[in-house]
Amino acid sequence: MKKTIKINIGGVIFHLDEDAYQILQNYLTAINQRFVSTEEGKEIISDIEHRIAEILQNKLSEQKQVISKEDIDEIIDIMGHPEDFEDQEESNGKTYHQYESTSKRLYRDPDNRILGGVCSGIATYLNIDPLIIRILFFLLMFGYGIIGVIYIVLWALLPAAHTTAQKLDMRGEKFNISDIEKNVRKEYESVKDNLKNIKNSRDYDRTRGFFESLIYAIGAFFRFIFKFVVALIGLVLVVTGVGFLIGLTGTLIIGESFMPWNNIIINDHVIITDMVHSFVDPNTIWIIAICAIMVVFIPLIAIIYGGFKLLLGLRPNDRSVAGIGFLAWIISLIVLLVLVGTQVKDFSYSVNDDDRIVIDETANKTLYLKTAENKALATSKFYIFDEEFKLMYDEDDEKHLYAFPEIDIIHSYSDQVVVEIEKKGRGASRKEAALNADEIEYHVIQQDSVILFDAVYSLVDKARWRFPEVDITVRVPEGFILYIDESIEKQLDYISLDRYYDHDEMVNKFWIMTDEGLEKYDKVTYED
């Protein structure tokens, strides 16, 4: 088995068998002796080595990892011997195979670049004047902003043609020693000419400087826009976060809502703690309150802090603080969900407690529907799940939670007016739900021709509120006359009517029950 030798050619490591190594070593030595004394020798030798390395890489595969003598002979046949190019006019007439690229390869042209050499590289590939490509890119950039992005992407992806072999490949020219030597000498001559023509060099620099300044100005403009938008987002986050933080803090400490929806959901000095005490088990209320504050306030503080970072361009090393805050938020959220889940069990079952009142018939079959006067009823109110609640103060100035019942007036086929009261209680079991239904305090009484309904219902002994409900159905036979007082408008829900009326159109008027529902009755007025 032949000995293999490792060699570095053009920055790439190859394994050669002993014979191949000896031939290649002699070949490279001859090339060095031929060009080392010339002005451009180092670059010519470097380009030749890179070209040899490129050809050798094409010879390797998964099955073949060692370069053989035959591979080196083929490379020499392609590249030619150094002595054959001592002088073209002294050629010995010997002909060698010359490797010609079957197609051009797209590179960036650094020798003719204005910025990155993309346009000049494309022009060389298409064999047209680079100025045409530059003008096209410049015009399209204003019509289609994506062109600028495409230029940057091509700048990043396309390799620059630095070596002579790459430049020959870019132009689709041959790759033997003679061509490499001629190309390097041509480049050196071009450099000398440019040094002699200082005026042209300055024009080039001015042109290049103009485009560089233009691109820099465009980049600076977009950087300014980006920073402005980021700062604006930061300002919005800070203002929003601080507004919510102040509103929630004021609501919790003072008890009056400072939130922007004050007049829609909560108003008139409703104390949040009083409201929560009515729904939550007192044994867990403080844990729930602390967890709820953490769940709400930690994101608000994070929003405010993030807004300041964007607004001021700060980049502090705050990962540990953020991690601790996020962990505290997660723990608080989990505890809150668990505790709220235990509270939800108190609403698992519902039981109805029904009561039926038969109204004594009056002489003229006329009844007046009113709510009993309740001077202690405060104007404070708030909504939960679209249900309106009220806070009322008793004679001891203690707060009680109240809610409005719903009153339906429907046609009845019996000969008596009947008021049905349905009280719905909720609890963790049916027994508890039944007890809670019994605790609902609501009354309907008859005084001659007047039926008085309690304006609101409540729980006796300030029991914990589990969303009790009171639904009242007034069943009216045909021929009875009803006067609907304005005090009962708030409680009205469904009414059998011969045509549609809004509730505010029905108050302070007489109505007679027909087989199609209530119909306006104009024969009697309120003053009568």
Can you give the pLDDT of all 528 residues of the chain as single tens digits? 678 888 888 888 888 888 888 888 888 888 888 777 776 677 778 878 887 888 888 888 878 888 888 888 888 887 777 666 555 444 444 444 444 444 678 888 888 877 778 888 898 888 888 888 888 888 887 777 677 788 888 888 888 887 766 777 787 766 556 666 666 666 666 555 555 554 455 555 666 677 777 777 887 888 888 888 888 988 898 888 888 888 777 766 655 444 444 433 444 444 555 556 666 666 777 788 888 889 988 998 888 888 888 888 777 777 788 888 899 999 999 998 988 887 777 777 888 888 999 998 887 889 999 998 776 554 445 444 445 556 555 555 566 677 889 999 999 988 899 999 999 988 888 888 888 888 888 999 999 899 999 988 877 665 566 778 899 999 999 999 999 999 899 889 888 887 888 888 889 999 999 988 899 887 654 444
Token pair, residue 447, equals 């005084």
Dist. CA 312–CA 231, nearest whole Å: 7
Q: What is residue 408's predicted lDDT score, i.e. its pLDDT?
A: 94
Contact in structure between 466 and 425 (CB atoms under 8 Å): yes
Residue-wise burial string across 275-293, b where 16 or more C-beta atoms lie within 10 A, e elsewhere: bebbbbeeeebeebbebbe
The confidence score (pLDDT) of residue 462 equals 58
Q: What is the pLDDT of residue 418?
A: 94
Three-state secondary structure readout of 90-158: HCCCCCCCCCECCCCCCCECHHHCCCCCHHHHHHHHHCCCHHHHHHHHHHHHHHCCHHHHHHHHHHHHC
User: What is the model's pLDDT at position 420?
Assistant: 94
Residue type, 321: V
**112 contacts: CB under 8 Å, gap ≥ 6:** 120, 124, 130
Written as one letter, the residue type at 69 is K
Could you give the CA distance from residue 230 to residue 306 in angstroms, rounded to a whole number? 11
**Structure confidence at residue 477 (pLDDT):** 93
Residue 245, pLDDT score: 83
Q: What confidence score (pLDDT) does residue 390 get?
A: 61
Q: What is the pLDDT of residue 190?
A: 59
Measured from the Cβ of residue 382, the count of other Cβ atoms closer than 10 Å reads 18
pLDDT of residue 478: 92
**Do the beta carbons of residue 409 and residue 496 sit within 8 Å?**
yes
Q: Indicate whether this model's pTM tops 0.85.
A: no
